[in-house]
Structure 1
């Protein structure tokens, strides 16, 4: 049971310290895609700690679990984990608690997906009523681009299948030339990177475990970093100034640039586009990517260390 305790402590420290460390770093705004990768690796490491601790606690509590989990392993490997019956009740409580947490996470994710589908269905029905088909036209669900009559400048991606880019006539009147192309490229960047699934997972974890710092920070950062990543995807094709002007054009009537902005991240995104900080060097980006990939490997190393030591 010592290994399971170490995993629980490791998971708790990671969940508490990782958001603070990343919040003090200045590079995520310069490298939003890399920052999303780091956040995902941290969250996976926390979840791995819980899953592995649950498996080891279950093995200490019930012989049937131990027989299935350690079936192909030699007896000295089982002995290395010190799975003695004297801690059975405590181990059973830990295993059940962690299993309930896993089921609750799955339920939250299912609810997030169902809510998203219902919201998407309502928006599709609303699009059909705002942009009705003329006699002889095909179904609107097959259109990649849908234009709706609305004086308010707006554009969004309606995830699919099929995915649809929706833009209002107000945006068409306000955005000039390549600015409209930049908006469409921004939404296409969301679609290509499958940001909707990142939003679903981060939202489910944050709603299921609101008091866990890493999950709350993960949801907040995913919303911010995915927008920055899509901004970069648009600016690479149409330029930073064009993308910034398009962003201002879509949001200037929403009060986001006043003294009390409703969406504080929009001015930050505009400033980031107009005054970009230098990107990290390629070796440093590769180094950060490799280090982040090793973070989920730490719980695996802790879990398998006693067994590997016994086989030496």
Structure 2
């Protein structure tokens, strides 16, 4: 099979079979960080297939670009990439794939701008409404982080990521939670900030909004939203215990009804998961899953370089 159809078939296979395997895998809830890595490798591999296919069709559509791409390559390498398409078809394919790339970049730019504007607005509101958490409460802020108390009877805790990250708790949370439970709630939010989960969420949201009909990006968005919460739960549980984290999770979401949005509807399952406390996968199993994700990420590159490597042998 020619390299271009092979890349397109591989991208289609990854976009259809990959999400199905990951959503049905039983190990995902035991290893949410590894599952996030696998999803990122899968989505990156699909995008890589499209990008490499655009690059190859562009060499047929515009021969000057092909000569520039293969500048300095050994004899026979360029001829190994001759694609079985006429120039009009190559131009159409290149423009179609380029439109997808422009749409992805535009959606990501819009998502980042919206998130930054929203974060700045919330920071201004917090600065106007709430004082910083005074020292001596027993909660020591880390470098580059501010603890803020917001007067509200409802127990809440959340984070505002960024260069000047803020962890926010309400007076209701201070009253309702014990010191250990409050520390667990803040450790959960701190886990989001440290792992840069907001970046991952922005990328997932941009891909989903840019290509609303693509199932792989829709599943990526929903699964990332769930997995980042599980990863933050584990981060808090390692430091303050599963029971304290589960109690904090219940208390902070006690006021929500059963008809709440999907992330909040996952709270009972997250609490059960914390209380059951299933052990992590064996190291060997984790290494095999990591290697599988890397293979999926490297497959498009290997496929794209295969004709050139064969020509050199």
- TM-score bin, normalised by smaller chain: over 0.9
Partner of 2:223: 221
Matched residue SS, 2:78: helix
Partner of 1:136: none
Matched residue SS, 2:77: helix
Structure-1 separation of matches of 2:61 and 2:282: 50
Ranges of 4+ aligned residues in structure 1 off by more than 4 Å: none
Query: How far off its partner does 1:2 sit?
Result: 2.8
The within-5 A match list for 1:287-306 is: 287-306=288-307
Q: Structure 1: which 5+ residue stretches go unaligned?
A: 134-141
Query: How far off its partner does 1:42 sit?
Result: 0.3
TM-score scaled by length of structure 2: 0.92
Per-residue deviation, residues 85-133 of structure 1 (Å, max 9, x unmatched): x611111111111111111111101100111011112211221232269
- In the alignment, structure 1 residue 269 sits paired with structure 2 residue 261: no
Match of 2:255 among 225, 250, 253: 253
Q: Structure 2: which 5+ residue stretches go unaligned?
A: 133-143
Partner of 2:82: 82
Structure-2 separation of matches of 1:121 and 1:45: 33
Match of 1:242 among 241, 244, 249: 244
- In the alignment, structure 1 residue 186 sits paired with structure 2 residue 178: no
TM-score scaled by length of structure 1: 0.93
Instruction: Report the RMSD for the aligned CA atoms in angstroms.
Output: 1.6
Query: How far off its partner does 1:276 sit?
Result: 2.2
Q: Is the 8 A contact 1:77 1:311 kept in 2?
A: yes
Partner of 1:19: 19
Mark the CA change 1:304 to 1:27 in structure 2 (over 3 Å): closer, same or farther: same
Per-residue deviation, residues 189-246 of structure 1 (Å, max 9, x unmatched): 1111111100010110011011111111111111100000000000001100010000
Partner of 1:105: 104
Q: Which moved more, 1:116-125 or 1:217-226?
A: 116-125
Query: How far off its partner does 1:51 sit?
Result: 0.6
Structure-1 separation of matches of 2:173 and 2:100: 45
Q: Is the 8 A contact 1:31 1:280 kept in 2?
A: yes
Structure-2 separation of matches of 1:37 and 1:184: 24
Partner of 1:66: 66
Q: Which moved more, 1:195-204 or 1:74-83?
A: 74-83
Structure-2 separation of matches of 1:62 and 1:128: 55
The within-5 A match list for 1:92-131 is: 92-131=91-130
Per-residue deviation, residues 48-90 of structure 1 (Å, max 9, x unmatched): 1001000000001111110111112134111111246x61111
Question: What is the aligned residue count?
Answer: 300
